[in-house]
């Protein structure tokens, strides 16, 4: 805490000091990795994902080192995290037991002491209250400010009794001037009778150890040992009845088991500055009434460690309930365990908090890519960590080629003129797609076993064994340096036997590939749709009739007759809310059109069609793929076309309008918008709120059916992500897999109309970054 007080002493204002203190403690409680470069937008998104409950815990010294000179960015991230709320700071603490009642005078005294080291501020009873009262209460209840700042020579500190021993019912109403109770590790239902008490057990081992290794007693360092510089060590973490490691915290852990089954508990480690762990998350197998298996966290020291906190360890259940939270500290020449003081949840005005979210942030890693994951369950503090699995471009390219070939052969073969498959054919197609989905899972989360498994495998096991609830959000973002990343997110599925029913992400979750962008609230009147329909599809479907039926009285539909109409609609001062394209298209990303291998697959599949009429649209597509003028991706309609380069050279989507763009055509989203090539990127760069596209060829019959199902959902007020999920599920029930090739780039909370029964505009979530 001393380092925290020293850090905020450089704040420019009391407000900045308050916001920075709050953000430091909340991010620490959420498992923020202070060893990486600080990203304010990512920090704001992580804190916003906590919703109404925000736990606070004392930041480690590493946080102060990492945030030196970053106070304005840290405070700004805190304020940005409340962008969707009516108030930009907490207003009270949630009531938990045991109750602690903080009077106004106590708050003033505590705040004054917190401000005492900040010499540039004049401290009196009024300015002390400029600090957020919830922050003051949480710091005081933690007790660590009293214990550690006092040793730094700060005078005037009062040792506040947080009331841990108090009992009795909570006050019926405590009002804004009160701060209630500590948030202890969550209590699970007691296990079956006869299960002995067990405790977290931490030991330091000389050298590196891995899963399956036998640790000799002499390998465990004594409590008096110090750690040398540039040396290899391991922290052994286990749950045991009789400890083999260091003494200290003695709270028994409540096993969150339903019966006598073996459960998996996850250990999350956070290190001090100068200590680098190979893994940050590892599983412990905990049988009924027995000690758990150990987890070995290997690390290396940059400098000697002779005192202070080495690492914090949180034990989490599969649903992220906190089972225990301890720190390994060297105090007065001996290593000991110390319980991390219970954090206090903040509360903020109720908003549309997302309770179950998996956020995957793609970053460059050497010659490939890596994932920084943040998982939130049921509104609990999220688990955030880098997965440590490097995905090489060659492996990703092989996966994408297999998926593209699967879709191409299915669309131009069995489904050439159909929307659905027979049940046997659907099962066969799903099994083949699931094989690619499991390959995608292994690329994301690794495939190591035993000593070869690390944080990525542990995180994958957590997701596979305890999946997010249906309808949860999976949000993918890309760092600036990783904007060329491409991945088939909708078909990802966890490992399972080949004969098992696959659980595709695209049928379980709302998936959005997001970038930082503005909102587009529903229009005050009926939304306007500008549609471009290739007349060549008339021999297969009556798509204008499908659009007219979908629009009904809920929207105004205008079908562009020619290129002049299209250009005029795009460049209008007040453009439509939805731009819809039902055309032929080719993907971007290569000056010579689609790569030759993709064209070869299309050509080979088309040869198997029964007659020239069936082959005609695919022959036309192959002719279009021969274009080599360097204009990028294309939209073909009748005798005209729109090119990627032509769109980039034009100015459209004016008056701060952010339309939704629906590219219902072949390969329209085969390149991610995060890259700088492809049609989705063009429209998102022009501030479209979202783009719907396909990652494969699509036949006219299915494109017509999918639009006929999705558009009415959007016009009825369903958010885009939820509407896409509902449409995918409907076609899955009808034995049609092609809905999985449709993806959303941009904001999944986009709405074309207010939700049914809603008054005014729906509050949408804050920007993502």
Residues with Cβ within 8 Å of 13's Cβ and at least 6 positions away in sequence, in order, are none
How many Cα atoms sit within 13 Å of 665 on the Cβ side? 28
Query: Among candidates 184, 760, 745, 119, which has minimal Cα distance to 477?
Result: 745
User: How would you list the strands of the sheet with 690-694, edge to edge?
Assistant: 383-386, 368-376, 357-365, 473-478, 510-513, 742-746, 690-694, 660-663, 578-582, 528-533, 556-559
pLDDT of 669 above 70: no
> What mean pLDDT is predicted for residues 126-138?
48
- pLDDT at position 724 is 94
- Per the model's pLDDT, the better-predicted residue between 53 and 70 turns out to be 70
Burial class (CB in 10 A: 0-12, 13-18, 19+), 230: exposed
Express as a percent the part of the chain with pLDDT over 70: 70
- pLDDT at position 596 is 60
pLDDT of 589 above 60: no
pTM: 0.69
Work out the pLDDT band at 619, boundaries 50, 70, 90: low
pLDDT of 10 above 80: no
Work out the pLDDT band at 676, boundaries 50, 70, 90: low
- pLDDT at position 755 is 66
Locate all alpha helices (DSSP H) within 452-513, ordered by sequence. 455-465, 505-508
Work out the pLDDT band at 634, boundaries 50, 70, 90: confident
Pairing of strands 232-240, 295-301: antiparallel
Burial 467-499 (b: 16+ CB within 10 A, else e): bbeeebbbbbbbbeebbbbbbbbbbbbbeeeee
Name, of 98-107, 340-349, 390-399, the range with top average pLDDT.
Answer: 390-399
Work out the pLDDT band at 56, boundaries 50, 70, 90: low
> What mean pLDDT is predicted for residues 45-68?
68
Q: Give the C-alpha separation, 594 to 628, whole Å.
A: 10
Q: What is the DSSP string of 684-737?
A: HHTT-SEEEEESS---HHHHHHHHHHHHHHHHTT--HHHHHHHHHHHHHHTT-G
> What mean pLDDT is predicted for residues 202-231?
90
- Per the model's pLDDT, the better-predicted residue between 625 and 326 turns out to be 326
How is residue 675 written in tokens?
């890259």
Q: Among 31-40, 118-127, 307-316, 326-335, whose mean pLDDT is lowest?
A: 118-127
- pLDDT at position 520 is 65
Q: Give the C-alpha separation, 294 to 297, whole Å.
A: 10
Instruction: Kindly list the distances between the CA atom of residue 738 and the CA atoms of 73, 398, 696, 734, in Å, as whole numbers in the listed order.
Output: 44, 21, 9, 11
- Are 467 and 353 within 8 A, CB to CB? no
How is residue 302 written in tokens?
């940059």
- pLDDT at position 697 is 81
Name, of 120-134, 139-153, 447-461, the range with top average pLDDT.
Answer: 447-461
Burial class (CB in 10 A: 0-12, 13-18, 19+), 96: middle
- Are 324 and 286 within 8 A, CB to CB? no
- pLDDT at position 79 is 78
Work out the pLDDT band at 516, boundaries 50, 70, 90: confident
- Are 692 and 532 within 8 A, CB to CB? no
pLDDT digit string, tens, across residues 282-328: 999 999 889 999 999 999 888 888 888 899 999 999 988 889 999 89
- Per the model's pLDDT, the better-predicted residue between 179 and 670 turns out to be 670
Work out the pLDDT band at 699, boundaries 50, 70, 90: confident
pLDDT of 177 above 60: no
Residues with Cβ within 8 Å of 627's Cβ and at least 6 positions away in sequence, in order, are 586, 593, 634
Q: Helix crossing, 133-142 with 14-29: angle to 10°?
A: 50
Number of Cβ atoms within 10 Å of the Cβ of 445: 25
Q: Among 60-69, 442-451, 565-574, 585-594, whose mean pLDDT is lowest?
A: 585-594
Q: Give the C-alpha separation, 282 to 643, whole Å.
A: 49
Work out the pLDDT band at 490, boundaries 50, 70, 90: very high
Express as a percent the part of the chain with pLDDT over 90: 26
Work out the pLDDT band at 510, boundaries 50, 70, 90: very high
- pLDDT at position 630 is 55
- Are 226 and 183 within 8 A, CB to CB? no
pLDDT digit string, tens, across residues 257-274: 888 889 999 999 988 777
Give the mean pLDDT of the chain. Answer: 76
Work out the pLDDT band at 503, boundaries 50, 70, 90: very high
């Amino acid at each position: 805490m001393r380092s925290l007080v020293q850090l905020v002493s450089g704040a420019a204002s009391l407000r900045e000091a308050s916001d920075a203190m709050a953000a430091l403690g909340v991010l620490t409680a959420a498992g923020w990795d202070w060893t990486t470069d600080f990203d304010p937008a990512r920090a704001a998104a992580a804190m916003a994902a906590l919703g109404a409950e925000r736990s606070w815990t004392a930041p480690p010294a590493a946080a102060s080192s990492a945030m030196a000179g970053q106070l304005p960015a840290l405070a700004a991230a805190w304020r940005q995290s409340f962008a969707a709320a009516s108030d930009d700071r907490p207003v009270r603490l949630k009531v938990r037991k045991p109750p602690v009642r903080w009077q106004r005078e106590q708050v003033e005294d505590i705040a004054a002491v917190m401000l005492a080291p900040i010499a540039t501020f004049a401290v009196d009873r009024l300015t002390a209250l400029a600090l957020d009262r919830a922050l003051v209460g949480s710091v005081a209840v933690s007790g660590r400010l009293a214990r550690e700042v006092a040793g730094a020579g700060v005078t005037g500190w009062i040792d506040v009794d947080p009331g841990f021993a108090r009992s009795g019912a909570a006050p019926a109403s405590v009002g804004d001037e009160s701060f209630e109770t500590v948030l202890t590790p969550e209590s699970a239902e007691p296990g079956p009778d006869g299960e002995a008490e067990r405790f977290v057990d931490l030991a330091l081992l000389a050298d590196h150890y891995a899963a399956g290794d036998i640790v000799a007693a002499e390998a465990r360092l004594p409590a008096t040992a110090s750690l040398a510089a540039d040396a290899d060590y391991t922290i052994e973490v286990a749950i045991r009845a009789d400890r083999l490691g260091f003494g200290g915290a003695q709270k028994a852990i409540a096993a969150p088991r339903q019966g006598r089954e073996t459960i998996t508990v996850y250990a999350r480690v956070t290190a001090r500055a100068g200590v680098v762990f190979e893994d940050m998350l590892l599983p412990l197998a905990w049988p009924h009434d027995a000690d758990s298996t150990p987890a070995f966290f290997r690390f290396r020291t940059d400098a000697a460690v002779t005192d202070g906190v080495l690492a914090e360890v949180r034990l989490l259940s599969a649903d992220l309930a906190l089972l225990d939270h301890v720190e390994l500290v060297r105090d007065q020449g001996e290593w000991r365990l110390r319980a991390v003081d219970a954090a206090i949840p903040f509360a903020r005005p109720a908003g549309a908090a997302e309770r179950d979210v998996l956020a995957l942030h793609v970053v460059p890693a050497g010659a490939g890519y890596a994932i920084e994951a943040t998982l939130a369950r049921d509104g609990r503090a999220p688990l955030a960590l880098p997965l440590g699995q490097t995905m090489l471009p060659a492996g990703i390219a092989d996966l994408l080629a297999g998926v593209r070939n699967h879709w191409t052969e299915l669309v131009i073969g069995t489904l050439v003129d159909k929307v659905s498959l027979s049940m046997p054919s659907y099962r066969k197609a799903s099994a083949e797609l699931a094989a690619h989905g499991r390959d995608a899972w292994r690329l994301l989360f690794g495939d190591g076993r035993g000593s070869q498994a690390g944080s990525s495998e542990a995180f994958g096991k957590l997701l596979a064994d305890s999946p997010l609830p249906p309808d949860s959000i999976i949000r993918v973002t890309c760092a600036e340096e990783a904007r060329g990343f491409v991945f088939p997110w909708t078909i990802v599925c966890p490992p399972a036997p080949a004969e098992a029913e696959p659980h595709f992400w695209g049928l379980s979750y709302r998936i959005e590939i997001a970038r930082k962008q503005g909102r587009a609230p529903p229009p005050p009147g009926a939304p306007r749709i500008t549609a471009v329909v290739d007349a060549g599809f008339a021999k297969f479907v009556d798509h204008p009739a499908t659009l007219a039926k979908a629009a009904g009285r809920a929207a105004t539909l205008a079908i562009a007759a020619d290129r002049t109409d299209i250009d005029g609609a795009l460049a209008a001062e007040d453009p439509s809310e939805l731009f819809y394209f039902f055309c032929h298209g080719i993907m971007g990303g290569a000056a010579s059109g689609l790569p030759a291998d993709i064209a070869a697959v299309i050509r080979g599949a088309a040869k198997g069609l029964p007659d020239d009429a069936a082959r005609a649209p695919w022959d036309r597509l192959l002719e279009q793929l021969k274009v080599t003028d360097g204009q990028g991706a294309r939209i073909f309609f009748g005798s005209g076309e729109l090119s990627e380069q032509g769109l980039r050279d034009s100015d459209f989507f004016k008056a701060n309008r952010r339309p939704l763009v629906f590219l219902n055509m072949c390969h329209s989203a085969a390149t991610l918008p995060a890259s700088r090539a492809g049609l989705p990127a063009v429209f998102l760069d022009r501030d479209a709120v979202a783009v719907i596209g396909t990652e494969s060829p699509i036949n006219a019959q299915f494109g017509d059916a999918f639009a006929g199902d999705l558009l009415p959902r959007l016009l009825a007020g369903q958010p885009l992500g939820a509407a896409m999920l509902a449409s995918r599920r409907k076609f899955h029930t009808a034995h049609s897999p092609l809905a999985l090739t449709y993806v959303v780039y941009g904001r999944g909370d986009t709405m074309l109309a207010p939700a049914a029964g809603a008054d005014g505009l729906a509050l949408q979530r804050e920007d993502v970054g």
